Chains A and B, each alone.
Chain A
Amino acid sequence: MKLKRIFPILLFLILTLTLSACGGGGQAFRATSWPGVTVDQDTVYVAYQQQILALQANNGSLLWSYPAEPSARQLFYAPPAVSEDLLIAGGYFNDLYALDPKTGSERWQFNTAKDRYIGQPLFMGDLVLVPNADDNLYAIDLNGSLQWTFKAEEALWSQPVLDSDRLFVASMDHNLYAVDPTDGSQIWKTDLGGSIVSSPTFVEETLYVGSMAKEVVSVDAQAGKVLWRFPVTGMIWGRPSYHEGNLYFGDMSGTIYAVDAEKGTELWKVEGVGAITGSMTVFEDGIAFVTEDNGVQALSFSGERLWSLLLNGKLYGEPVVAGEYLMIPVTSGDQLLVAVDFSGNQRWAYSLAK
């Protein structure tokens, strides 16, 4: 009789495990992204999985972690925003935290959002602007009180960009918005024909935006009028990088482009570098970028290959400059963050097991 009662319970447990595994477990295990990296002076902040880490930029030593022990109720991937007194980090469980950037101690929480924080927040005077996947951009004061919201038609995955009197917000709903930073009201919006994963680049009254519609679009910042479109072969996940009149960007098909920012004409392209999900990082010798499977690479401003470094793991996002090093976030590898100098030599690495 005992067996008769135990067997269904065992079967139930096996089914539970099977269905849970098929579904990817719970929300925590489904919600994945790459490490979010922010540099402030000599400290590197990394948001990855259940913790935010503060590392010393010159040697990778751990300064603090938040929470001190990993918690199953917290999940971080959005790059934090850092000011002198506050670090703002959004989580995948709809939670936003304000921390002391020197110690990692918690100051306050903001729990109004209804979805994940994927994009990096932005400090704007006495406010911090936080994009959320619930379609809202939240403007919160430095004590954690909501001041205004701007609602897009779909999720916001990227950091807004601030001009003196306008805020530019790119959305997964295909639109680029200009928003009044005093009250969050919409000034104009332009449909770019594809989801916009990254922030726009703002240079001299012009915005440059890459989208999943496989093109980079130049938009007049005053009225939102499209100035030119540059079609590419793959989807664009990163923001175009600007340097001395030229734009540099890569696409998912593995091609890097250099384009004249004013005219939208191609200057050169390098094919076959590997799938790119981030932006080009401009450093003194040229541009550096990461590819999903082919490591970190650098090209000169005229498109010649400078160096490459293969790392163990998948590389998404973009390198972040910290002093004389490039910080490379690593996903699914032994290391979480690798510091590479401008000649392509690895200087230190931080492993999760450390």
Chain B
Amino acid sequence: MWDAIIITPFINVLLFIYSLVGNFGIAIILFTMLIRLVTHPLTAKQLKGAQAMQEMQNDKRYLDMQKKYKDDKEKLAQEQMKLYQELGVSPFSSCLPTLIQFPLIIGLYQSVIRSLANTPIELLNLTRQIYPGLLNVAELVPLNSNFLWMDLGQPERLNLPFVSFGIPVLAVVVVIVSFMQSKLMQPPTSPGNEQAAVMGNMMTIYMPVLMGYMAYSLASGLALYFTTSSLVAILEYALMGRLNWKNLLPSRGSDKAKK
């Protein structure tokens, strides 16, 4: 079911792009951009919902009820629900688009992996997922998985003549870009919501580390996808005027937290 609805169509679109451009690296970049473009309305809706929630959290009535009912969680929840209704804010408006996007992102990720089939069973499975009316397997296989200095089916290392080991350039790029994405897209913290701030700060460290580790150890095609996805997300937020450049300045951020 998952394969028929998400993975197989994704693989076919990805390989169709590949058949046009003849380079799997460029196909991954274009396909990631395409998926981001298709899911842009959901991203915009999610941001709008998050903004509404944030404005509500800065509302005087909201702040008052946090103090007033700090020892009565049940009453606090009831009062918050009333305020949600009064202001027309849905607490799920920001997370529902994310939930819809999540399977698409996982699907994108899986379709990249499966298209890089480089073992007999993987290739066998891939040939069965290709729509014969759209693509010619005989012409398509083997995929040209070389992109710049990388073999997209292998973990990436840049070998330089004066260095005795391979440098994982793309893994470093993934860490930097993921960190920038997390920081730039982190919303300003509302007073009284320190837990979310702590969690957000920790995620800006953990997520880039996770992404970097995966980029270091798995096929570089995935690392290319991670990098493209993060850069496109940053661009998308920038075009909507939602980037928090101040978050990249640690000193000012910590001062603000102290206040």
Question: Which A residues contact B (CB, under 8 angstroms)?
Answer: 4-5, 7-9, 11-12, 15-16, 19-20, 22-24, 26-27, 30-34, 77, 92, 114-116, 118, 133, 154-155, 157, 172-173, 193-195, 197, 211-214, 235, 237, 252, 277, 316, 331
CA–CA, A11 to B206, complex, Å?
A: 10
Number of residue pairs spanning A and B whose beta carbons lie under 8 angstroms apart:
102
Question: Which B residues contact A (CB, under 8 angstroms)?
Answer: 106, 109-110, 113, 118-122, 124, 127, 137-138, 141-142, 154-155, 194-195, 198-199, 202-203, 206-207, 210, 214, 217-219, 222
CA–CA, A302 to B90, complex, Å?
A: 73
Determine chain B's interface SS by DSSP, over half rule: helix
The interface residues of chain B lying within 8 Å CB-to-CB of A16 are 210
CB contact under 8 A between A5 and B198, given known A19-B214, A24-B113, A154-B142: yes
8 Å CB contact of B210 from A19, A31, A77, A277: A19
8 Å CB contact of A32 from B109, B119, B127, B207: B119
The interface residues of chain A lying within 8 Å CB-to-CB of B154 are 114-115
Pair B106/A133 contact, Cβ less than 8 Å: no
Pair B218/A197 contact, Cβ less than 8 Å: no
CA–CA, A92 to B118, complex, Å?
A: 11
The interface residues of chain B lying within 8 Å CB-to-CB of A12 are 202-203, 206-207, 210
CA–CA, A329 to B207, complex, Å?
A: 42
How close is A63's CB to chain B, nearest CB, in angstroms? 27
How close is A128's CB to chain B, nearest CB, in angstroms? 22
How close is A252's CB to chain B, nearest CB, in angstroms? 8
The interface residues of chain A lying within 8 Å CB-to-CB of B210 are 12, 15-16, 19
8 Å CB contact of A34 from B121, B138, B195, B203: B121
Pair B120/A8 contact, Cβ less than 8 Å: no
The interface residues of chain B lying within 8 Å CB-to-CB of A213 are 138
CA–CA, A277 to B123, complex, Å?
A: 11
Query: Across the two chains, which residue of chain A brings its CB closest to B109?
Result: A22
8 Å CB contact of A33 from B120, B155, B219: B120
